[in-house]
Amino acid sequence: MESFDFIIIGSGSAGSAMAYRLSEDGRNSVLVLEYGGTDMGPLIQMPSALSYPMNMQTYDWGFVAEPEPALGGRRLVTPRGKVIGGSSSINGMVYVRGHARDFDTWEAMGATGWGFRHVLPYYKRLETSHGGEEGWRGTAGPLHVTRGARKNPLYQAFVEAGHQAGYPVTEDYNGRQQEGFGAMERTVWQGRRWSAANAYLRPALKRSNVKLITRAFVRRLLIDGKRVTGVEYERGGEILTAQARREVILAASSINSPKLLQISGIGEPAHLQSIGVTPVHALPGVGQNLQDHLEVYFQLESLKPVSLLPSLNLFSKGLIGLEWLLFKTGLGATNHFESCGFIRSHAGVEYPDIEYHFLPIAIRYDGKAAAKGHSFQVHVGPMRSKSRGFVKAKSAEPREAPTIKFNYMSHQDDWTEFRAAMRLTREIFEQDALKPYKGREIQPGAHLQSDDELDGFIRDHCESAFHPCGTCRMGDASDPQAVVDPECRVIGIENLRVADSSIMPQIANGNLNAPSIMIGEKASDHILGRTPLPASNQEPWINPNWRMSQR
């Protein structure tokens, strides 16, 4: 049995950040256990190849959610990274911190010390921002955050259309003002995907006190009374154990972290007994509070030949790939999400609850074109769904996938917000800036206008944005639904923490890679017993007329 100060389960966004920070001063030995293998190769490292890894068994856990009653019984896939870097190695590389009010809400929900003023210094610590707002962004962190060249005229036309519709233009949605339209940021550096593995794990592995074991399937936590002592894992058909002198930290995703707690005996006792697991510690919130973002692809034909269509044939893909392999430049070096928008659905909504990702081609997430001619699209959906689901282990067998039930669109307000998002999108597309380009509406289709027609389209065509979170909710230790306290310690269990997207009390505004890395950064200071970074006194911009107007 090997022994380490800290054992981190999962090498994803938070796990890699913690491996880097916990080993930084050389005093602590750190073991990182990752079930996947190497992230090397163009399908992960080339930004424009983003549609491939999340559709490959090699890199994805392959989870599929239960049939969703409100979506006509559809079962949506739930990709999670099974590779060095975790989901940061298979995601769309979009970088969104979240809105300041997200974190103030976390604090109001019991996550003391996680308000915006507390997390902003950690965002600054983790970043090297290229082109971000001075004073609001980090300039010396491991994670490079860049912007695309936006050479395609559609990128600027979309932002200008938003401005013509009455919305602000924001120079940096990750700075003082999220609300508005502008350039989208991404984790791409020098033409490569700048995953948590590239930013954090590889530098950490150069230290003698960090060990990474890949192809290591964690079976359960080793618990003595109410104290975690180590981890049991399987590798190459052999069952092995590793001992933690100080702590075990779960950073295994919002799907696997609650499942590992449950099969180790931590969770809702009646559920554990029903699957043949002896309860060790009652924590009814484990696996509850599951949240996600849903979106639809709003697709239009382009009247001008300016889209990415010519680059989709095999010959063009070959040339793009060759340029990327030789120089790390060209269309292979971008994720193509280069313009975006954050708006509010209604008057009385304090901060944005709708996000736009713009693409200069109408295409599905599996990389197949939606139209034969030139086209463009936005991904649009509400940010703060009130629907809640759960993750539950099906049995005591570690290799059996858990039950994942999102309960998408089970709250009536979700339908109201989604309809508003679709109607506001059509209004933006009617602006003069897009008139030279706007052709036929491929989907939803201009004939769908009534509430019932829009609801039908949402039910049949909405897709997950792949942002599951919330299943090990952070809160006050007295909260019966909280799983971890504000220092990420599992409530009632010694030497065990959870630090990944599962601890979010409420889903953050935008994509979850950035807040997950921030959680790893901040959790590291708590684990090491350090005084948190000094709180910021910077005030975010909130639309002064939010109570009275939608824009």
CATH of the domain at 269: 3.50.50.60
Smallest Cα–Cα separation from 356: which of 88, 113, 517, 167? 167
Q: What is the reported pLDDT for 370?
A: 74
One domain for residues 271 and 376:
no
One domain for residues 213 and 339:
no
Which residue is catalytic, options 374, 411, 467, 526? 467
Structure token digits, residue 409: 């669109």
Give the separation between CA 358 and CA 347, rounded to whole angstroms: 24
Give the separation between CA 253 and CA 498, rounded to whole angstroms: 10
Q: Is residue 400 part of a domain?
A: no
Structure token digits, residue 508: 């953050």
Q: What is the reported pLDDT for 368?
A: 74
Q: Is residue 280 part of a domain?
A: yes
Q: Is 411 a catalytic residue?
A: no
One domain for residues 219 and 339:
no
One domain for residues 314 and 425:
yes
Q: What is the reported pLDDT for 371?
A: 80
Structure token digits, residue 411: 């709250």
Please check whether residue 351 is in contact with residue 365, taking contact to mean a CB–CB distance below 8 angstroms: no
Residues 6+ apart with CB under 8 A from 67: 73, 74, 75
Sign of CA dihedral 414, 341, 99, 524: positive
SS3 (DSSP) at 213: strand
CA 29 to chain centre: 28
CA atoms within 13 A on the CB side of 532: 22
Residues 6+ apart with CB under 8 A from 318: none
Give the separation between CA 526 and CA 533, rounded to whole angstroms: 11
At 433, which CATH number? Answer: 3.30.410.40
CA 41 to chain centre: 22
> Are β-strands 227-235 and 238-250 bridged in parallel, bridged antiparallel, or unpaired?
antiparallel
What single string gives the DSSP state of each residue in 418-477?
A: HHHHHHHHHHHHTSGGGTTTEEEEEES-TT--SHHHHHHHHHHH-EE-S--B-TT-B--T
The burial class, CB within 10 Å (0-12 / 13-18 / 19+), for 276 is: exposed
Domain edge (last residue) among 440, 461, 482? 461
Q: Is residue 394 part of a domain?
A: no
Give the separation between CA 178 and CA 181, rounded to whole angstroms: 9
One domain for residues 319 and 454:
yes
One domain for residues 315 and 252:
no
Domain edge (last residue) among 461, 482, 503? 461
CA atoms within 13 A on the CB side of 314: 0
Q: What is the reported pLDDT for 224?
A: 98
Q: Is residue 435 part of a domain?
A: yes
Q: Is residue 395 part of a domain?
A: no
Number of neighbours of residue 14 by Cβ within 10 angstroms? 38
CA 318 to chain centre: 30
Q: What is the reported pLDDT for 1?
A: 82
- Through-space distance between the first and last CA atoms of the chain, rounded to whole angstroms: 60
One domain for residues 340 and 366:
yes
What single string gives the DSSP state of each residue in 482-549?
A: -SB-TT-BBTT-BTEEE-SGGG-SS--SS-SHHHHHHHHHHHHHHHTTPPPPPPP-------TTTTT-
Q: Is residue 341 part of a domain?
A: yes
Please check whether residue 520 is in contact with residue 503, taking contact to mean a CB–CB distance below 8 angstroms: no
Q: Is residue 71 part of a domain?
A: no
Number of domains, the chain: 2
Please check whether residue 522 is in contact with residue 122, taking contact to mean a CB–CB distance below 8 angstroms: yes
Q: Is residue 545 part of a domain?
A: no
In angstroms, the Cα distances linking 222 to 113, 181, 226, 247, 434 are 30, 49, 10, 12, 59
Structure token digits, residue 157: 């036309």
Q: What is the reported pLDDT for 196?
A: 98
Give the separation between CA 300 and CA 510, rounded to whole angstroms: 23
Beta bridge partner(s), residue 241: 232
Residue type, 277: V
Number of neighbours of residue 165 by Cβ within 10 angstroms? 19
One domain for residues 163 and 245:
no
Give the separation between CA 118 and CA 127, rounded to whole angstroms: 16
One domain for residues 485 and 455:
no
What does each of the 551 residues of the chain score in pLDDT, given as a tens digit?
899 999 999 999 999 999 999 999 999 999 999 999 999 999 999 999 999 999 999 999 999 999 999 999 999 999 999 999 999 999 999 999 999 999 999 999 999 999 999 999 999 999 999 999 999 999 999 999 999 999 999 999 999 999 999 999 999 999 999 999 999 999 999 999 999 999 999 999 999 999 999 999 999 999 999 999 999 999 999 999 999 999 999 999 999 999 999 999 999 999 999 999 999 999 999 999 999 999 999 999 999 999 999 999 999 999 999 999 999 999 999 999 999 999 999 999 999 999 999 999 998 766 777 788 999 999 999 999 999 999 999 999 999 999 999 999 999 999 999 999 999 999 999 999 999 999 999 999 999 999 999 999 999 999 999 999 999 999 999 999 999 999 999 999 999 999 999 999 999 999 999 999 999 999 999 999 999 999 999 999 999 999 999 99
One domain for residues 237 and 106:
yes
Please check whether residue 549 is in contact with residue 347, taking contact to mean a CB–CB distance below 8 angstroms: yes
One domain for residues 313 and 329:
yes
SS3 (DSSP) at 153: helix
Q: What is the reported pLDDT for 364?
A: 77
One domain for residues 113 and 205:
yes
Residues 6+ apart with CB under 8 A from 86: 10, 11, 12, 13, 15, 16, 34, 36, 80, 196, 253
Phi, psi (5° rounding) for residue 92? -85, 5
Q: Using DSSP, how many helices (H) and how many strands (E) does the chain show? A: 13, 25
Q: Which helix (H) or strand (E) holds 359?
A: strand 354-359
Give the separation between CA 410 and CA 386, rounded to whole angstroms: 8
Give the separation between CA 96 and CA 268, rounded to whole angstroms: 34
Please check whether residue 383 is in contact with residue 537, taking contact to mean a CB–CB distance below 8 angstroms: no
Give the separation between CA 29 and CA 8, rounded to whole angstroms: 11
Please check whether residue 10 is in contact with residue 250, taking contact to mean a CB–CB distance below 8 angstroms: yes
The burial class, CB within 10 Å (0-12 / 13-18 / 19+), for 208 is: exposed
Residue type, 301: E
Which residue range(s) make up the domain with 315? Answer: 149-183+294-382+409-461
